[in-house]
Structure 1
Amino acid sequence: MSSNLSRLVAVVLLGGMLGILNSTMVAVGIDALAAAFGTSLSAIGWVSTGFLLAVTAAIPVTSWAVDRFGARRLWLFGLLVFLAGSLGAGLAWDTGSLIAFRAVQGLGAGVLDPLVLTLLARAAGPHRAGRVMGLMGVVLSLGPVLGPLTGGALLQAFSWKWMFLLNVPVGVVAYLLALRVIPADDPPAGRRARLDVTGVALLAPGFVALMLALSQAAEQVAFGVWQVLVPLAAGVALLGGYGLHARRGEPLIDPRLFARRSFSAAVVVMGLVGLATFATLFALPLYFRQVHGVGALAAGMLVAPVGAGAAVAMPLAGRLSDRLGARGLALGGAAVAVVSGLAFTQVGPGTGWAWPVVAGCAMGLGLGFVGAPTMGSLYRLLPAPLIPQGSAVLYMLNQLGAALGIAVVTLIVQTAGDPLGGMRGVFWFALAMVTVILAAVPLLPGCPAPQARAVTERVGSG
Structure 2
Amino acid sequence: MSSISRDRLGAPLLRLIGVLLLGGLLGILNSTMAAVATPTLAASLNASLSTVGWASTGFLLAVTATIPFATWAVDRFGGKRLWLTGLGVFVLGSLASGLAWNAGSLIVFRLVQGVGAGLLDPLLLVLLARAAGPARAGRVMGLMGVVLALGPAAGPIAGGAVVEALSWRWMFLLSVPLGLVALLLARRTLPADQPPAERPGGGRLDVLGLALLAPGFAGLVLALSQTAERGSVGAWSALLPLLLGLALLAGYGLHAGRARVPHPLIDLRLFANRGFTAAVTIMGLSGVINFAAFFALPLYYQQVHGHGVLAAGLLMAPMGLGGSLAMPLAGRLSDRFGSRGLAAAGTALALACTLGFTRVDADTGELLPALGALFLGVGLGFLSAPTMGSLYRALPAERVAQGSSVLYMLNQVGAALGVALVTLVVQTSGAVTEGLHRAFWLAAGVLAVVLLTVPLLPGPPPRTGPDGAVEPAEPAASGGARRSGRA
| TM-score computed with the length of structure 1 as normaliser | 0.98
Contact 2:138–2:332 under 8 Å retained in 1: yes
Matched, 1:447 2:432: no
Deviation at 1:264, TM superposition (A): 0.3
Aligned twin of 1:326:
339
Aligned twin of 1:432:
445
| 1:105 aligned partner, one-letter code | Q
Contact 1:324–1:449 under 8 Å retained in 2: no
> What do residues 82-135 of structure 1 show as CA deviations (whole Å, max 9, x unaligned)?
011001100001111000000000000000000000000000001110000001
Aligned twin of 1:214:
224
Give the counterpart of 2:282 among 255, 269, 280. Answer: 269
Aligned twin of 2:145:
137
Contact 2:73–2:202 under 8 Å retained in 1: no
Matched, 1:302 2:312: no
Matched, 1:340 2:353: yes
Deviation at 1:266, TM superposition (A): 0.0
Deviation at 1:189, TM superposition (A): 2.3
Q: SS in structure 2 opposite 1:128?
A: helix
Aligned twin of 2:380:
367
Matched, 1:58 2:80: no
Separation (CA, whole Å) in 2 of partners of 1:319 and 1:192: 32
Are the structure 2 counterparts of residues 222 and 392 from structure 1 closer, same or farther at C-alpha, using a change threshold of 3 Å? same
Separation (CA, whole Å) in 1 of partners of 2:129 and 2:479: 17
Separation (CA, whole Å) in 2 of partners of 1:234 and 1:83: 32
Deviation at 1:57, TM superposition (A): 0.6
Contact 1:69–1:187 under 8 Å retained in 2: no
Separation (CA, whole Å) in 2 of partners of 1:150 and 1:438: 34
Separation (CA, whole Å) in 1 of partners of 2:239 and 2:323: 35
| 1:154 aligned partner, one-letter code | V
Contact 2:71–2:405 under 8 Å retained in 1: yes
Aligned twin of 2:246:
236
Separation (CA, whole Å) in 1 of partners of 2:140 and 2:458: 18
> What do residues 164-203 of structure 1 show as CA deviations (whole Å, max 9, x unaligned)?
0000000000000000000012343289510001001100
**Unmatched segments (≥5 aa) in structure 1:** none
Are the structure 2 counterparts of residues 354 and 240 from structure 1 closer, same or farther at C-alpha, using a change threshold of 3 Å? same
Q: SS in structure 2 opposite 1:189?
A: helix
Aligned twin of 2:27:
19
5 Å-filtered alignment, 1:54-453, equals: 54-189=62-197, 192-248=202-258, 249=261, 250-450=263-463, 451=472
Deviation at 1:416, TM superposition (A): 1.3
Separation (CA, whole Å) in 2 of partners of 1:195 and 1:188: 15
Separation (CA, whole Å) in 2 of partners of 1:284 and 1:4: 40
Q: Sequence identity, in percent?
A: 61
> What do residues 232-289 of structure 1 show as CA deviations (whole Å, max 9, x unaligned)?
1111110001001002311011011111000000000000111100000111111111
Contact 1:325–1:449 under 8 Å retained in 2: no
Contact 1:381–1:453 under 8 Å retained in 2: no
Deviation at 1:411, TM superposition (A): 1.0
| 2:312 aligned partner, one-letter code | A
Are the structure 2 counterparts of residues 261 and 457 from structure 1 closer, same or farther at C-alpha, using a change threshold of 3 Å? closer
Separation (CA, whole Å) in 1 of partners of 2:202 and 2:159: 43
Q: SS in structure 2 opposite 1:186?
A: coil
Deviation at 1:138, TM superposition (A): 0.6
Matched, 1:35 2:48: no
Q: SS in structure 2 opposite 1:39?
A: coil
Are the structure 2 counterparts of residues 327 and 192 from structure 1 closer, same or farther at C-alpha, using a change threshold of 3 Å? closer
Deviation at 1:452, TM superposition (A): 5.6
Separation (CA, whole Å) in 2 of partners of 1:211 and 1:192: 28
> What do residues 390-428 of structure 1 show as CA deviations (whole Å, max 9, x unaligned)?
000000000000000001111111121111211111121
Separation (CA, whole Å) in 2 of partners of 1:192 and 1:323: 33
| 1:161 aligned partner, one-letter code | R
Deviation at 1:353, TM superposition (A): 1.5
| 2:224 aligned partner, one-letter code | L
Contact 1:26–1:151 under 8 Å retained in 2: yes
Separation (CA, whole Å) in 2 of partners of 1:453 and 1:116: 29
Contact 2:209–2:252 under 8 Å retained in 1: yes
CA RMSD of aligned residues (A): 1.5
Separation (CA, whole Å) in 1 of partners of 2:372 and 2:473: 34
Q: SS in structure 2 opposite 1:45?
A: helix
